[in-house]
Amino acid sequence: MRFGLFGGARTDAGEQASDSRIYSDYIDYICEAEQLGFHSVFLVEHHFTGFGQVSATINFLTYLAAKTSTLRLGTAVLVLPWHNPALLAEQAATLDLLSNGRFDFGIGKGYRWGEFHGFCIPMQEAEERYQETVAFLRKAWTSKGRFSHHGKYWHYEDVVVEPAPVQKPHPPFWVGAASPNSIRYAAHQGYNLLLGQGGGPETVAEGVSVYRREVEAQGRVYDSSMVGLTRALHIAKRQRARGGARIARQVHGPGRTIVAVADRRIPDPRPPAQAAIARRTRRTDRTRRADRPPG
């Protein structure tokens, strides 16, 4: 088992002037995770929310590629119906090139009505747009020389997508799936699997089992690194915080994970500079400390 991060930098509404500071803190947080041996980071993509979620995900990861050296850099997920397929293929390949083959391409269809409404794209078109973009990406990264594409939503004539990605034939695709049918489809398409954020151990085990059987039925070798699972972690250092964590768990559902430790202060064994970075960057985590001292 390998551990990574999921989420993204986030700002508070009405504080756009502080974006760069908060983004810088999150970047420090990710760099610290790499030094501690974390394997990967997967970032979200959201638009028009009003509470500052990451929107330019490929740009963000490209900057991280220059700040890190071993961390896998992933999207979870990039919503394909909102993107120009040719530009996306170029941007993703550039990220893979600059990161020396560390890009994991998590893709999805989208689910928030407000985002589709903002882009003036009917949600009913999401499936067709998604499938057309996937087909174009694969063609762009496997064609030898120039090619043309004429689909329902996009048209390209005599094009070549540059640069080529480092990973062959292309960066691994990851898709989110929860139902047995969607999990089988992911395996059949050769996608890696991002399991849902809910469900207990039995649900997770069943999902992995369905995926593994389908992969092996195709004559491919299953590897546990083909499956990702996301869970929130809340570290409560005091009894009061532990109670707040239990409430948060009830609000967010049983799929959340809480780790509680002794009700006392624990000295930080790291050098003062690293400890200061850790204290500052923890504020950007999506689960904020319930026991922050006053002042």
Structural domain range at position 96 = 4-171
Q: How far apart are CA 295 and CA 290, in angstroms?
A: 14
Is 129 a domain residue? yes
Q: What single letter denotes the amino acid at residue 100?
A: N
Q: What is the pLDDT of residue 53?
A: 87
Residue 208 lies in a domain: no
User: In terms of Cα–Cα distance, which of 232, 288, 225 is closest to 256?
Assistant: 232
Q: Are residues 8 and 141 in the same domain?
A: yes
| Residue 184 counted as domain residue | no
d(CA 129, CA 236): 44
Q: Which residue has the tokens 């995770």?
A: 33
Q: Write out the two tokens for 144.
A: 């030898």
Instruction: Give me the pLDDT at residue 19, please.
Output: 60
Q: What is the DSSP letter of 291?
A: T
Q: What are the distances in angstroms from CA 206 to CA 178, 183, 277, 287?
A: 10, 10, 39, 28
Say whether both 244 and 155 belong to one domain: no
CATH number at residue 147: 3.20.20.30
In a domain, 240, yes or no: yes
Q: From CA 29, how far away is CA 274, in angstroms rounded?
A: 10
What does each C-alpha distance from 43 to 35, 149, 281 come to in angstroms? Answer: 19, 30, 16
- The verdict on residue 224 lying in a domain is no
Contact between 53 and 46 (Cβ < 8 Å): yes
Tell me, yes or no, whether 270 and 126 share the same domain: no
Per-residue pLDDT tens, the chain, 295 aa: give them.
999 999 888 776 555 555 666 888 899 999 999 999 999 999 999 999 888 889 999 999 999 999 999 999 999 999 999 999 999 999 999 999 999 999 999 999 999 999 999 999 999 999 999 999 999 999 999 999 999 999 999 999 999 999 999 999 999 999 999 899 999 999 999 999 999 777 888 999 999 999 999 999 999 999 999 999 988 777 788 888 888 877 777 765 544 333 333 333 333 434 444 444 444 444 444 444 444 444 4
116 is a domain residue = yes
Q: Give CA–CA dist 113/82, Å, rounded.
A: 13
Considering the domain architecture, whether residues 56 and 147 belong to the same structural domain is answered as: yes
Residue ending a domain, choose from 134, 153, 171: 171
Asked if residue 291 lies in contact with residue 240, where contact means CB atoms within 8 angstroms, the answer is yes
| Among 171, 191, 206, residue at a domain's last position | 171
Structural domains of the chain, count: 2
Asked if residue 147 and residue 243 are part of one domain, the reply reads: no
Which of 144, 171, 198 is the last residue before a domain boundary?
171
In this structure, is residue 223 part of a structural domain? no
What pLDDT score does 233 carry?
Answer: 76
pLDDT of residue 235: 78
Same domain for 44 and 159: yes
pLDDT computed for residue 266 by the predictor: 33
For residue 280, tell me if it sits in a domain.
yes
In the block, residue with structure tokens 């009894």: 239
